[in-house]
Structure 1
Amino acid sequence: MNADEVLAIYNDLAAENVPVWIDGGWCVDALLGKQTREHADLDIAVAREHAERLRELFARWGYQPQPRQDATDWNYVVATGSGSTVDVHVFEFDDEGNNTYGIEYPKDSLTGTGVIAGRKVRCIAAEWMFRFKTAYTPQDKDLEDVRALGERYGFKVPATHRRPAPRL
């Protein structure tokens, strides 16, 4: 998934009045203001009130649901035959801002903005993206994401997410 594909999806959804927030690796890059690595997919968050319209649009654009054992109505993957893949995270808040459905995003987490290829986008807030990235056992890409967010925003990187010093 490249930046042009990400922005095409983001812009096309905006044109259809389906607001989304960039999550995952592309969120990290948006918060850093530059692409730092290759991305296999795009993660997006969408409010439940827009979820059905999102499904309809993805189907119209050639995205098909991908079979996964852990797929739910609030977390699923769609992909095109050419390999463009989107991981969809659906959420809902009540009038007081409490999460009542789907992915348990804290309301404050959906306040971030970042930049992808010069375009300002809504994304997960930096503090929350850092929290999310440090909440599980990291892969190599996560170590680099956490390091970069820590440097950029002054977050203290936990020992579990630091690369070991090279042996001499």
Structure 2
Amino acid sequence: MKQQMTAEDVLGVLAVLQQADTEVWVGGGWGIDALIGRQTRPHRDLDLMHRAGQEQTVVGTLAAVGFVQTLDWRPVRFVLTDGRDRELDLHPLRFAADGSAVQSSPDPERPFEYPASCFVTGRIAGSPVGCLSAEQQVYFHRGYEPADHDRHDMAELRRAFGIGTHF
């Protein structure tokens, strides 16, 4: 079974990346918990969006603390794992001058879009962290059969923010 990613693990990874002067935003389950301000379930990984132009620094910084690449689906995403089996799911973003961004998708004609307004601040274990907005989280939970943790996450967003979700 995969090692769980704790709040302390997340804050440690974010601190190392901040010290390297990189910009990242938390997405996925930890991103939803950051929006809510508390951990609502166990997490097996940490989803991070990063500036594509900073990717070499991000990867080098994480390699220095023991993370190695274990999956490469670039330009869409890639995964780094450490010796404790903790996973980081990294998503390169290309930013426009207006603060919006795009991420490549499996369909090159339909990249994932990130409006400038989706980059917000949440809290993990009381510490402020950059994360994706509730609306952006809902956007990324469309178009596939949800797992139990996806249903849990959407229920948490509905409860916390009163927004509509499709499941």
TM-score (norm: length of structure 2): 0.86
Count, aligned residues: 157
Asked if 1:136 corresponds to 2:138, the answer is no
Max radius of gyration: which structure?
1
SS in 2 for 1:143: helix
More strand by share: 2
Distance 1:37 1:101 in 2: 27
The alpha carbon displacement at 1:105 in A equals: 3.4
User: Which of 12, 20, 24 is equivalent to 2:28?
Assistant: 24
Q: List gaps (5 residues or longer) in structure 1.
A: 162-168
Asked if 1:45 corresponds to 2:24, the answer is no
SS in 1 for 2:113: coil
Match of 1:72 in 2: 74
User: Which of 80, 86, 89 is equivalent to 2:88?
Assistant: 86
Aligned AA for 1:125?
Answer: S
TM-score (norm: length of structure 1): 0.85
Q: CA RMSD in A?
A: 1.8
Distance 1:119 1:89 in 2: 22
Indicate how the Cα distance of structure 1 residues 109 and 38 shifts in structure 2: closer, same or farther if over 3 A, else same.
Answer: farther
Q: Is the 2:101–2:116 contact (alpha carbons within 8 Å) kept by the matching residues of 1? A: no
Aligned AA for 1:154?
Answer: G
1:1-168 equivalence runs, <5 A:
1-67=5-71, 71-97=73-99, 99=101, 102=104, 104-108=112-116, 110-158=118-166, 161=167
The alpha carbon displacement at 1:24 in A equals: 0.5
Q: Is the 1:114–1:121 contact (alpha carbons within 8 Å) kept by the matching residues of 2? A: yes
Once the two structures are superposed, residues 76-123 of structure 1 have per-residue CA deviations (whole angstroms, 9 ceiling, x without a partner) of 000011111100000102335564653623233542211100001110
SS in 1 for 2:71: coil
